[in-house]
Structure 1
Amino acid sequence: MTGDNSQVLKLDDIPVVENDELKKVITAAGLGNAIEWFDFGVYGFLLITLSRVFFPGADPGVALIASMATFSVPFLFRPLGGAFFGFIGDKYGRKRVLSFTIILMSLSTFAIGLIPSYAAIGIWAPVLLLLAKVVQGLSVGGEYSGAVVFVCEYSPDKKRGFMASWLDFGSISGFLLGSVVVYLVTWIVGEPAMASWGWRLPFLLSLPLGAIGLYLRRQLDESPAYEAQEDNDRDKTSSLKKIIRKSYKGIILCCALVILMNTSYYMLLTFMPSYLEVNLHYNESHSKLIIMLVMTFMLLVQPLVGFLSDRFGRRAFLIAGAMGQFFLAIPAYWMIAHGNTWLLIAGLAILALILCCFTGVVASVLPALFPTQVRFRTLAVTFNISVVIAGLTPTVATWLVAAVEPLSRTLSLYIPAVYLMVTALCGLVAGVIMRETANRPLKDSLPIVSSRMEAREVLEEHFDHIEKRVEAIENKISELEEKRQNLVDQHPRLN
């Protein structure tokens, strides 16, 4: 359980994290995720408006693809941010990184609201937009991975699924808040003013949100798992080759799960609004309201999935979600494209429920795949390389639909479903082969509990486990002694 067979586990060695402290950690970490996805929500719901502000004069379809590309290109910089912040986080602590990334993220989002339009400064407008998104990519590269590691290293083993699920609850809340703000600002100032200057207001709100998040994070202590490391372990620098050799199975599983979750995420929450408006010709405000209702539904379901995963395991939800996505993606898109409002809502609800099977458990699974010494950097780099692939989803899906539509409009409407089916296969394989992580300590870490009483129970379980192993070894020794004696009896010179 401790990751070191020579270490004697004592009651005082087991970290106890009480609920009040854990709530502070979840709030501070979740707010950073909320700010990250607040920008994604604002940007996704303003795609058409931003395409007109930063790419005027272009064909509407080309301008939309360009805006999608501006959303996707910064994902290429996330692995670089993950490598840098991950190394700092493993060497100097998770808390320091999370304090810095939330500053960088909120400032870059705030800066988007200050960029002049194409009509004012020409080509420099989209260039500055891209630069701001690149800075976001660098900061987000360390933000989500750091928050996941921090929360999971803080959470009691028997509550990790439930606690980690609140991180993506923060993500969806931020996305929902961004979409609600866009909807309200549009309703207050009107469409003409929104296209002229109103689109800036949602981006400017990120600064006060970031200030609150920074204050909360600075009040936290370092994670118990990180503090439990010896100082000389933190100073050891593992080479890339050594990390890959020791953690290649975790890296492969992480890639598959991240691609599965984020492809579904971006397809539903970023691509879907423009799909409803451009391809299915829904009213812009109507389509955005529907997506907001879907996100509200997800907020209710996701923590429940995390809670149940502590009872029934993570693998069950990953496998069920992947199978559901493979077999129900096309029926769901048929409902969405049917033209009936209730069928539309049902189709979106199916996709949202499937997505909750991933977002409710993945955050608690990923940190368990890697050892503490290199957990942050390995997870950050692997996660963000995978997100690069998934982050292309809105751009690629938009392009595929546009490319296939001249050949067959009906077929073009189902291209996103086929896209989801392919990623579902990756997730299904990962769910089948991965080891269950529920109710177990993180790799090479001490157990973490929520009370002194639970610590005693864990210690008793640990001793019971040792007794069973000792008994199994003694039985094995007896069997070997019998085999030895049988062989000795058969040899004349050994008797």
Structure 2
Amino acid sequence: MDTPRQVSRASLAIAAFSTIVEWYDFTLYLYLTTVLARVFYGDYEGSVAMALLVFAVGYLMRPVGAACFGYVGDRFGRRRMMLWSMALMTFTMLATALLPTSLQIGGAAAWWLLALRLVMAFAVGGEYTGVVAYLTEGSASERRGLIASLAAASSEVGALLASAAAALTVWLLPQAEVDAWGWRLPFVAGALMALVIWIARSHMDESPDFERQQREDTVPSAPAKHVLTKQFPAVLRTFAISALGSVTYYVGITYVPSYLATTTGLSESDSLGISTLAAIVVIAVTPLLGWASDHLGRRPILVALAAIGVILPILAFWTMASAENGIIVIVGVMLLAVLGGGVSAVAASATAEQFTGEGRVTGLAFGVTAATAVFGGLALWLSELWGASTGNPLAPGMLMAIVAVVAAPIIATMPETAARQLRKTEG
């Protein structure tokens, strides 16, 4: 039996921290939702919901992209997969920055925005799952939780940068200039960062597990068939873990700026400022929970977080909606950030460990991105729609609680994978 090789520290660092760009690019849209709604849909009551619907529809492309890039990763290597996805993201970010607005070409602008969101979601579908698989396969078994959580932490750095870029844009420029041209600047910055990461990735090592498959001639010729016929229970477990992670992250963290601006009456700049603080909290919490999962196990921490997710979101959104004191609003946002960051930290390694090396990226594509499409993209739109149609400010928290109730029993029965050697073959 081969002793698993670890990739170089430089390769691990490039993989872990390259998710900064992925989540900067993708979450920037959310942090600029109210601005983009005005620019592409007009300044009317339902424009924010329309902008969120575009994000949700675009999110449906994530599973498609994940399946396509997963095939590349499982057949031709993790490194090639990550190079191709980053190249596509670079192009899409630059194209978004150059889009004409509704004032320039009318309703066609909204359709062009939708088209580019579909391309971006397709590209991002191959990003996070590939990085998590790479980090899991390239790190020591006793440190997989910590190392894989760095991808989630780096994602939060990207989200922090996106929040900060959006906040600085609306703080430093009058609204008329933001709507006219200022909104383009953060997208240009994202395209430049993506290009730098693509160059860095071209010098990465290949995953040792994929090299092992090549030596042993076990690279699956049909990764999707392999996963669905031999590892389908792992797909279901991964879906449940990712459903909890997606709803706590997207509804509990990235939706908050729009929620605060439309429900509590806070200004766009104040809402984005609070979200920036939340991103800092998540960055601090994520590696700590990843480290803890290496010592306490993935399952007990995820079960505890699911139990907290049944109660905390409702209390937090009630606090944000009813509190007149800004400090109390900040506390509610911070508590949601701890919950979302904690689940993301442990889920990174826990999902990858459910699969064998053969078909791992495709398995993650089916489980992680399918759950993210439903409980990430659509959940944002449903939260906005539910709250607007019923006038219930607790709707987002209630949606999060429902997902936690359903996911908890599945997570509680999954096998413990912390510190165990990754499985090579099924059975």
TM range (shorter): over 0.9
CA contact (8 A) 1:107 1:206 kept: no
> Higher mean Cα deviation, 386-395 or 186-195?
186-195
Aligned to 2:69: 85
Cα deviation 1:349-371 (Å, max 9, x = unaligned) = 22112112211111101111111
Give the C-alpha shift of residue 93 in structure 1. Answer: 0.5
- 336, 352, 358: which one aligns with 2:337: 352
Give the C-alpha shift of residue 131 in structure 1. Answer: 1.0
Aligned to 2:254: 270
Structure 2 unaligned residues grouped into runs of 5+? none
Aligned to 1:421: 401
Give the C-alpha shift of residue 35 in structure 1. Answer: 1.7
Aligned to 1:259: 243
CA contact (8 A) 1:15 1:224 kept: yes
| Matches for 1:193-342 after TM superposition, within 5 Å | 193-231=177-215, 233-238=217-222, 240=224, 242-337=226-321, 338-342=323-327
Instruction: State the percentage of identical aligned residues.
Output: 30
Q: 1:235 to 1:169 in 2, by over 3 A?
A: closer
Cα deviation 1:411-432 (Å, max 9, x = unaligned) = x011111101111113311221
Give the C-alpha shift of residue 296 in structure 1. Answer: 0.5
CA contact (8 A) 1:109 1:203 kept: yes
CA contact (8 A) 1:333 1:347 kept: yes
Q: Is it true that 1:392 corresponds to 2:381 in the alignment?
A: no
Aligned to 2:80: 96
Q: Is it true that 1:404 corresponds to 2:384 in the alignment?
A: no
CA contact (8 A) 1:330 1:417 kept: yes
Taking the aligned partners of 1:237 and 1:133, their CA distance within structure 2 comes to: 31
Aligned to 1:17: 6
Give the C-alpha shift of residue 239 in structure 1. Answer: 7.2
CA contact (8 A) 2:249 2:340 kept: yes
Aligned to 1:48: 34
Aligned to 1:186: 170
- 369, 374, 383: which one aligns with 2:368: 383
Taking the aligned partners of 1:207 and 1:332, their CA distance within structure 2 comes to: 35
Give the C-alpha shift of residue 231 in structure 1. Answer: 4.8
Give the C-alpha shift of residue 374 in structure 1. Answer: 1.1
SS of the residue 2:422 aligns to: coil
- 444, 461, 467: which one aligns with 2:424: 444
SS of the residue 2:394 aligns to: helix
Aligned to 1:469: none
Taking the aligned partners of 1:400 and 1:52, their CA distance within structure 2 comes to: 22
Taking the aligned partners of 1:348 and 1:235, their CA distance within structure 2 comes to: 45
Amino acid at match of 1:347: G
Amino acid at match of 2:184: R
Q: 1:424 to 1:297 in 2, by over 3 A?
A: same
> Higher mean Cα deviation, 384-393 or 227-236?
227-236
Give the C-alpha shift of residue 16 in structure 1. Answer: 4.3
Amino acid at match of 2:3: I
SS of the residue 1:250 aligns to: helix
Give the C-alpha shift of residue 92 in structure 1. Answer: 0.8
Q: Under a length normalisation based on structure 1, what TM-score does the superposition of the two structures give?
A: 0.82
| Matches for 1:455-470 after TM superposition, within 5 Å | none
> Higher mean Cα deviation, 419-428 or 395-404?
419-428
CA contact (8 A) 1:159 1:307 kept: yes
Structure 1 unaligned residues grouped into runs of 5+? 1-8, 406-411, 446-495
Taking the aligned partners of 2:118 and 2:125, their CA distance within structure 1 comes to: 11
Amino acid at match of 1:366: T
Q: Which has the larger radius of gyration?
A: 1
Give the C-alpha shift of residue 192 in structure 1. Answer: 2.0
- 402, 421, 433: which one aligns with 2:413: 433
CA contact (8 A) 1:233 1:373 kept: no
Cα deviation 1:461-483 (Å, max 9, x = unaligned) = xxxxxxxxxxxxxxxxxxxxxxx
Give the C-alpha shift of residue 238 in structure 1. Answer: 4.0
Taking the aligned partners of 2:60 and 2:340, their CA distance within structure 1 comes to: 24
CA contact (8 A) 2:223 2:359 kept: no
Aligned to 2:348: 363
Taking the aligned partners of 1:29 and 1:372, their CA distance within structure 2 comes to: 18
Q: 1:104 to 1:238 in 2, by over 3 A?
A: closer
CA contact (8 A) 1:260 1:426 kept: no
CA contact (8 A) 1:165 1:363 kept: yes
Give the C-alpha shift of residue 241 in structure 1. Answer: 5.3
- Which consecutive segments of 4 or more residues in structure 1 shift more than 6 A? none
Amino acid at match of 1:438: A
CA contact (8 A) 2:166 2:272 kept: no
CA contact (8 A) 1:32 1:102 kept: no
Amino acid at match of 2:371: S
Amino acid at match of 2:415: R
Taking the aligned partners of 2:86 and 2:14, their CA distance within structure 1 comes to: 10
CA contact (8 A) 1:35 1:174 kept: yes
Q: 1:241 to 1:416 in 2, by over 3 A?
A: same
Give the C-alpha shift of residue 31 in structure 1. Answer: 3.8
Amino acid at match of 1:227: E
Taking the aligned partners of 2:257 and 2:172, their CA distance within structure 1 comes to: 21
Give the C-alpha shift of residue 325 in structure 1. Answer: 0.9
Taking the aligned partners of 2:28 and 2:101, their CA distance within structure 1 comes to: 17
CA contact (8 A) 2:74 2:220 kept: no
Taking the aligned partners of 1:240 and 1:214, their CA distance within structure 2 comes to: 27
Taking the aligned partners of 1:306 and 1:403, their CA distance within structure 2 comes to: 39
| Matches for 1:115-154 after TM superposition, within 5 Å | 115-154=99-138
